[in-house]
């Protein structure tokens, strides 16, 4: 993993808490510690955002803890807040980690329920804070493979999958509930029997009991990244899994393409069978699979807002 990126502190002038307006997160407050992410995953949709800094540069919102102290006063205890919708708060830079620690301290101290999704490693220095507020933290590690070649190719500057599992194990020992998100699954690369078996066995061994699944959704900017950053034979093979010519807006505001339904169903069934044998619970992400008629949201219960709960109850019970 390279720590070779520029971290530039900037002052956030807009609100620190904004409501996410997409997919399963719709309506939930979200916070990002940085603009841009040094992990530079090839499939990252946030790299295509208009304001995203160039690769190798990250802007750090150094005043987030102060802003949140002010804004947090107006929200009730138990308010769900999601960290990392378009960046990663555990990028290996001392200033980012300090701001992350201070930001989480404000949110947890206010009694909020905090959901964190990361591919980063949580340093030992978070032990005190996390152990104290363990019941308010819902942690998800993003991991699709323990294979080093895979990680280097698709997530070039993120910690290796094996290191993420070690981090998850440490979090469990601090009393934190940890889930895993297998997203994006990429046909031929991360959805193979061999890859899934070794990953799920590793997750089981470190105490994870629930996994969320989702196949890759292609977007125009992700396609460009694939063309630029992957060997041509690999990107061609991946593109062959998206036979539709037209881009669509199914299930999101953004233009995207999905892998054909039948292939996704087969892939999910294969993974679910392995997970079931290991006693792991699986959830298929509804918002990334709008054509599968799924119900409910893949968020942990503690992070569902009242609005969410009402919406999903209505869907479930008519």
Long-range residue pairs from 225-228, CB within 8 A, at least 24 positions apart, any chain: 225/42, 225/43, 225/44, 225/47, 225/48, 226/42, 226/43
Distance CA 47, CA 316 (A): 35
CB nearer to ligand SF4: pick between 79 and 138:
138
Residue with tokens 């990392």: 84
Residue with tokens 């078996």: 197
CB nearer to ligand SF4: pick between 38 and 289:
38
Residues of the shown chain interacting with ligand SF4 in the complex, contacts defined by CB under 6 A: 37, 39-41, 44, 46, 86-88, 119, 158
Q: Compute the least distance from the CB of residue 203 to ligand SF4, in Å.
A: 18
CB nearer to ligand SF4: pick between 39 and 139:
39
Q: Compute the least distance from the CB of residue 159 to ligand SF4, in Å.
A: 10
Q: Compute the least distance from the CB of residue 307 to ligand SF4, in Å.
A: 26
Q: Compute the least distance from the CB of residue 87 to ligand SF4, in Å.
A: 5
CB nearer to ligand SF4: pick between 86 and 103:
86
Distance CA 238, CA 118 (A): 25
Q: Compute the least distance from the CB of residue 316 to ligand SF4, in Å.
A: 31
Q: How many CA atoms lie within 13 A of 177 on its CB side?
A: 14
CB nearer to ligand SF4: pick between 79 and 145:
145
Q: Compute the least distance from the CB of residue 44 to ligand SF4, in Å.
A: 3
């Amino acid at each position: 993993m390279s720590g070779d990126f520029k971290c530039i502190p900037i002052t956030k002038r807009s609100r620190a808490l904004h409501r996410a307006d997409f997919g399963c997160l719709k309506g939930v407050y979200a916070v990002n510690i940085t603009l841009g992410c040094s992990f530079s995953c090839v499939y990252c949709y946030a790299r295509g955002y208009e304001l995203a800094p160039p690769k190798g540069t990250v802007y750090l919102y150094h005043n987030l803890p102060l802003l949140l102290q002010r804004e947090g006063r107006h929200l009730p205890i138990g308010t769900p807040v999601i960290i990392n919708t378009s960046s990663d708060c555990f990028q290996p830079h001392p200033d980012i980690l300090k701001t992350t620690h201070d930001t989480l301290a404000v949110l947890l101290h206010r009694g909020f329920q905090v959901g964190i999704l990361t591919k980063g490693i949580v340093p030992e220095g978070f032990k005190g804070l996390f152990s104290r507020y363990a019941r308010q933290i819902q942690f998800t590690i993003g991991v699709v493979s323990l294979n080093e070649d895979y990680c280097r190719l698709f997530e070039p500057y993120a910690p290796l999958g094996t290191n993420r599992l070690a981090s998850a194990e440490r979090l469990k020992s601090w009393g934190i509930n940890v889930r895993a998100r297998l997203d994006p699954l990429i046909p031929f690369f991360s959805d193979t029997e061999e890859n899934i078996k070794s990953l799920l066995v590793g997750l089981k061994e470190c105490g994870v009991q629930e996994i969320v699944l989702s196949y890759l959704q292609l977007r125009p900017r992700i396609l460009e990244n694939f063309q630029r950053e992957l060997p041509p034979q690999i990107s061609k093979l991946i593109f062959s899994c998206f036979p539709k010519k037209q881009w669509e807006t199914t299930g999101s505001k953004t233009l995207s393409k999905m892998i054909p339904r039948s292939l996704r169903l087969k892939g999910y069934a294969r993974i679910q069978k392995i997970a079931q044998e290991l006693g792991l619970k699986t959830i298929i992400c509804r918002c990334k699979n709008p054509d599968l008629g799924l119900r409910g949201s893949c968020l942990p219960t503690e992070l569902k807002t009242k609005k969410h709960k009402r919406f999903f109850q209505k869907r479930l019970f008519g």
